[in-house]
Structure 1
Amino acid sequence: MFIKQLIYRKSLLLYLVIFSVFSSFSQQQPDTTFVSRFDSPNFTAENAPVIFIDKIHNNLHQLNTGFSPFAGLAEADGYMVKNFDSYSRLTEADMLVIVNPINKKNMGNWKRPIYPAFEEAEKEKIRIWVENGGNLLLIADHMPFAGAAKDLAQSFGFNYCDGFAQLAEKENRNDVFSQANGRLPKSPVTDGTYGEVISKLTSFTGSSFKIPEAAIPVMSFKDVDKCLQPEIAWQFNDSTQTSDLSNSHQGALMNYGKGKLAIFGEAAMFTAQTITQNGNTFKVGFNSATAPNNVQFVRNILLWLADGTENGENNNSVTTEILAVNRQMEATFDRGDYEDISEFYSEDGVMLGNNTEVIGRENLREYWSRFGGGFKWRLSNIEIKELDGDYALQRGFSIISWKNDNEEISESKVIFSLLWKKTDQGWKIMLDHYSPR
């Protein structure tokens, strides 16, 4: 028993050291030096989805405060971003972002009980809005924010643990969710269906939740991970209630009626901040060197939410069909049937790019047959637009990887535009244009 208590106290001390870096919110600021720029934004002014960021519920992160870097990223990617200050404006929104709401009773009073941030009528308005086609991104951080958002999340079947979620193993003092450690399951926002493939994410001390059966997990915990639930935020001791995080998550997606939900338990990973403590300044969020994939992940999440919106021009059925063909192309290539890639083109299909011009399926067959064994191919979608008739235009990234002589992974990456035509044999590529990245 003594040994177990000693191990627990050492673990608790480690938690306190890690938490102390992030616990002084008076010294937490948005990183205004971080500027997002993208060569190929997902949207333009003509089809920009409208994002509203909540400021009604005493939110720690709002458009002009902690989530200003998130807003800058969204605007650089072609979205229109506005303040959400009245429920009458829900009809204008394609997407509603709610981050770290809190009841006014708990402002400056982060001890239990934690009161709900939403009244019953508000929860119902938001639920009905999503059911009728709205798209909600709900982010509730560690205690007290998970507790304040718990009732709203429960109206969609999600159940927050109002505490501090911790991975058993950390990287650079942060929580890392990756394919390698089994905490980043395949999902539409990580497998290249929406945006680029993501194999690793970093979060910065958040909460956890259970998901309904219909939800798709994005960031998942293991039973060795813990949720610490102190009586007062940041104050931990031997009596702190602790539970394992089996079947718990920090990110998930779900379709709900005609709308969509993206639920997360950590806010810093979606923005860029600096925290100053004892004269030292730390970067926390997608501006941190420890989170190189988080910017692209945020883009993927927004693209998934925006797919099928009224202002956006994506068509769900066409998008789904073409993305399914993308996966078939990858599988054909990965198993070494390189010549068969030509079957995804029309008889008179054309490939252009990088001093290359290949015309006709037979010539395309000869082109693809030049690949040898051991290559892997991933197609990351940026956007699919349905055109007049049975045509569609797809933009994305193509990444072919292989092991070099030193057994290291090398990659060739290009950006592509594909003109598709729907035929009796399914969707076929009429024009394949690419350029190196």
Structure 2
Amino acid sequence: MLLRFVLYTLLALGVVACNGDGSPQQPDPDFKPKNTFKRFNKEQAPLVLIDEAHYNFHTLNGRYKPFAQVLRSDGYVVKANKEVLTKKSLEQADILVLANALHKENSRNWDGPFYNAFTDEEISAVKAWVIQGGALFLVADHIPFPKAAEKLAAAFGFEFANGHVSKFTFSKDNKTLKQHPILNSTERTGQVTKVRSLGGDAFKVPSNAKNILQLPKDAVAALPDKPFKVNQQTPRVSIAGWSQGAVLEIGKGRVAVFAEASMFTSQVYVPTGKKLGLVSKSAEQNERFLLNVMYWLSRAI
């Protein structure tokens, strides 16, 4: 019964979570952030670059448009990055968002093979930029996205499963939401007591990082060769204690890593009109959590 439920969940997520451009999954045109007060004015506003130079599945005016709306509601300046990641292209940015990169455009047909999206030179540039004071927001969802970010994540000590994980609500009640200043009340947000994930992947957290969204003891990842090709014979691995959200301080900089993208945006499945993400049931505090993560990355907390 449990296995059938897990498989059903993964297949259902596959319908709404990962179709190529032109698919029925689109940014929610009616989304409006709950936040109405900007903590940053024009003079002090951090510059956030959302990467679009690596065939990203989530982009500024695409599936991460609601993500950008939330950030702008708090005063951030949000722009798209369309350049190779170098010391020069990063020097003006305060926070870099890398969300579901891919190694090439036609890899969106999900047939594979899948490769790293970032060159060794780009990885070195990003790591050096972070150590010198930059802030990285890295999102790698289910297979194949973790493969595309594998080397970049490893440069900071994170190791993804590169599979599928069922949706889950992290909370203080079930002891999977771990204490960190990000969860505390800030100037304009209340306490974060639960965060909703809508599937995605999982990763191992290095010893010098803080696991905030810690998966429970019975958590399992399915490891298919291709996205959503999950059946009774698909290999599975325990991911007890692994993470879907963790943060790291390194040098003068900060890194936030997440294994699920939809939790930070709002999307609509056009044929049915069903919306998911920030507006999903049990995700009422996800926007607050996102604002606090960004506030932490901007070194305001």
Shared fold (TM-score greater than 0.5)? yes
Task: Work out the CA distance in 2 between the residues paired with 1:157 and 1:280.
Answer: 41
Aligned to 1:159: 159
Aligned residues: 294
Cα gap change, 1:47/1:12 in structure 2, threshold over 3 Å: closer, same or farther? Answer: closer
Letter in 2 for 1:155: A
Alpha-carbon shift at residue 114 of structure 1 (Å): 2.0
Alpha-carbon shift at residue 13 of structure 1 (Å): 4.1
Alignment of 1:328-343 (within 5 A): none
1:226 to 196, 209, 220: 220
Cα gap change, 1:219/1:45 in structure 2, threshold over 3 Å: closer, same or farther? Answer: same
CA shift digits 1:133-183 (9 cap, x unpaired) = 0000000111111111111000000001101112xxxxxxx4211111221
Alpha-carbon shift at residue 265 of structure 1 (Å): 0.4
Report the structure, 1 or 2, having the larger strand content: 1
1:188 maps onto 2:188 in alignment: no
1:56 maps onto 2:49 in alignment: no
CA RMSD, aligned part only?
1.9
TM-score normalised by structure 2 residue count: 0.92
Aligned to 2:35: 38
Aligned to 1:28: 25
1:177 to 153, 170, 183: 170
Task: Work out the CA distance in 2 between the residues paired with 1:203 and 1:36.
Answer: 18
Give the secondary-structure state (helix, strand or coil) at the position aligned to 2:232.
coil
Task: Work out the CA distance in 2 between the residues paired with 1:116 and 1:81.
Answer: 26
Letter in 1 for 2:90: L
1:249 maps onto 2:243 in alignment: yes
Alpha-carbon shift at residue 37 of structure 1 (Å): 5.5
Task: Work out the CA distance in 2 between the residues paired with 1:123 and 1:101.
Answer: 13
Letter in 2 for 1:181: N
Of structures 1 and 2, the one with the larger relative CO (CA 8 A, separation 6+) is 2
Task: Work out the CA distance in 2 between the residues paired with 1:40 and 1:280.
Answer: 33
Q: Pick the structure with greater CA Rg.
A: 1
Q: Contact 1:12 / 1:237 at 8 angstroms: preserved in 2?
A: no
Task: Work out the CA distance in 2 between the residues paired with 1:65 and 1:44.
Answer: 26
2:76 to 70, 76, 79: 79
1:208 maps onto 2:171 in alignment: no
Task: Work out the CA distance in 1 between the residues paired with 2:272 and 2:211.
Answer: 36
Task: Work out the CA distance in 2 between the residues paired with 1:239 and 1:30.
Answer: 34
Q: Contact 1:54 / 1:96 at 8 angstroms: preserved in 2?
A: yes
Alpha-carbon shift at residue 193 of structure 1 (Å): 5.9
Task: Work out the CA distance in 2 between the residues paired with 1:37 and 1:201.
Answer: 16
Alpha-carbon shift at residue 216 of structure 1 (Å): 0.7
Alpha-carbon shift at residue 251 of structure 1 (Å): 0.2
Aligned to 2:229: 235
Alpha-carbon shift at residue 302 of structure 1 (Å): 0.6
Unaligned runs of at least 5 residues, structure 1: 1-6, 167-173, 308-313, 320-437
Aligned to 2:298: 306
Alpha-carbon shift at residue 259 of structure 1 (Å): 0.3
Give the secondary-structure state (helix, strand or coil) at the position aligned to 2:213.
strand
Unaligned runs of at least 5 residues, structure 2: none
1:273 maps onto 2:267 in alignment: yes
Alpha-carbon shift at residue 32 of structure 1 (Å): 1.9
Alpha-carbon shift at residue 111 of structure 1 (Å): 3.9
Alpha-carbon shift at residue 27 of structure 1 (Å): 1.1
TM-score normalised by structure 1 residue count: 0.64
Q: Contact 1:142 / 1:162 at 8 angstroms: preserved in 2?
A: yes
Alignment of 1:60-71 (within 5 A): 60-71=57-68
